Amino acid sequence: MKKCLFLALFSLFLTACATTAGTNAKAASQYANAKAQYTQKGVLDNGSSTALRVKKVFNTMVPYAKRENQTGVPFDWEIMVIKSNELNAWAMPGGKMAFYTGIVERLNLTDDEIATVMGHEMAHALKEHGKSSTNRSAAIDSLFAIANVAITAATGVDSGNLLGLAKDLGVDKPFSRGDESEADEIGLYLMAKSGYNPKFAPQVWVKMNQATGGGGGFFSTHPADKDRQQNLEKWLPKAMEYYNARR
* Strand order from edge to edge, sheet including 96-100: 44-45, 78-82, 96-100, 89-92
Give how far Cα 25 sits from Cα of 7, 90, 141, Å.
27, 17, 24
Which residues have a Cβ under 8 Å from the Cβ of 178 and sit 6 or more positions away? none
CB atoms within 10 A of CB 210: 11
Q: What's the farthest any 2 CA atoms get from each other in the chain?
A: 68
Which of 68, 86, 105, 121 is flagged as catalytic? 121
Please confirm, yes or no, whether 121 is among the known catalytic residues.
Answer: yes
Kindly state the helix (H) or strand (E) to which residue 111 belongs, with its residue range: helix 111-126
Could you tell me which residues are beta bridge partners of residue 96? 78, 92
Q: CA–CA separation, 52 vs 32, rounded Å?
A: 21
Q: What sign for the dihedral angle of Cα 212, 62, 177, 192?
A: negative
Catalytic residue positions, numbered: 121
